[in-house]
Amino acid sequence: MKIFGIGMNYRDHVVEMQTKAPGKASAGSEGYDAPVVFTKCDSALVTRGRPFFIPDYTHECEYEAELVVRICRMGRSISERFAHRYYDAITVGVDFTARDLQRKLRAEGLPWDLSKGFDGSAVVGEFRDFNGNVSLPLDGSTGRYEDHKVAQMLKQGINFRLDINGKTVQSGLSTDMIHSVDHLVSYISRFFTLKTGDLIFTGTPAGVGPVHIDDHLEGWLNGEKVLEFNVK
């Protein structure tokens, strides 16, 4: 399994992080207009409501709520036109970031891996396919691509939010992404072969902030709670 993350994919978050916003990319574009892609190892994955443990090497661990799509078939160099055939389920996830470590790495011109890909940093909820299936497994497909409704729903607008201790701290809409899911699937597949069960964290909207021990987090997808866990 591979876990891909996308940085700076909502303009309000780009402004929030005081980073220059990348422009909308056309298929095949490079440089600052291209998606910002990073990876997490499989040991970063946390599922089934298990707790998240704040690492002892950061004093500024922040949550980033995101839509997470599940790849359902193998593909490489996928045309954006056909990208919707390669994912079939979606959920809300939290991409945890050791923000103080990330700033240090950026200042030194080093990769983000240690601040974004550490064990337990990718928490995901229960997947939905909008065909009535719930609690979907991480691997396997829910059916033929003609039956996949996630792509259609993404274009119409899937809303999501993150609550901490009963208070909403982040909310977003899929149509506000700078780079669409179809574009992300196509772009990533130029460099990596996508396989069934791979996950793509599609970027976070504004509202990121720190988590603390004993915080209770809940993720909502179109008004349905699909994620719930505690911070230790």
When pLDDT is cut at 50, 70 and 90, the band that residue 15 belongs to is confident
Chain center to CA of 218: 15
30 CB-contact burial (10 Å; exposed 0-12 / middle 13-18 / buried 19+) = exposed
- For the chain, the domains span 3-230
In this structure, are residues 182 and 84 in contact, taking their beta carbons and an 8 Å threshold?
yes
pLDDT digits (tens, 9 = 90+) for 197-223: 999 999 999 999 999 999 999 999 999
pTM recorded for the entire structure = 0.90
Check if CATH label 3.30.2130.10 holds for domain 3-230: no
**Which has more pLDDT, 94 or 24?**
94
Q: Where are the beta strands (DSSP E) in 8-85?
A: 36-40, 45-46, 61-63, 65-71
**pLDDT at residue 26, as a whole number:** 37
Q: Does residue 24 surpass a pLDDT of 60?
A: no
| pLDDT value for 147 | 57
Among 124-133, 150-159, 168-177, the least confident range:
124-133
pLDDT digits 0-9 by tens, 66-99 = 999 999 999 999 999 999 999 999 999 999 999 9
Predicted pLDDT at 43: 97
Provide the H-helix boundaries in 17-68.
Answer: none
Residue 232 has pLDDT above 80, yes or no: yes
Q: In the chain, which residue ranges form alpha helices assigned H by DSSP?
A: 11-16, 99-107, 113-116, 150-156, 181-188
pLDDT score recorded for residue 13:
87
Do residues 61 and 98 lie in contact, with contact meaning Cβ atoms separated by under 8 Å?
Answer: yes
Q: Which of 220, 95, 54, 138 is nearest to 228 (CA)?
A: 220
Smallest CA-to-CA distance from 145 within 81, 67, 203, 221 is with: 81
Closest CA to 150 of 78, 222, 224, 80: 222
pLDDT level of residue 23 (50, 70, 90 thresholds)? very low
Whether 129 and 69 have beta carbons less than 8 Å apart is answered as no
pLDDT at 139 over 80: no
Distance CA 38, CA 44 (A): 13
Across residues 181-199, what is the average pLDDT? 98
The answer on pLDDT for 21 being more than 50 is no
CA distance 206 to 184: 20
State the Cα–Cα distance between residues 81 and 55, nearest whole angstrom.
Answer: 41
Which residues does residue 157 pair with via DSSP β-bridges, in sequence order? none
**Is 20 a residue whose pLDDT tops 50?**
no
The pLDDT score that the predictor gives to residue 27 is 34
Number of alpha carbons in the 13 Å side-chain half-sphere of residue 208: 26
Q: How far apart are CA 142 and CA 15, in angstroms?
A: 37
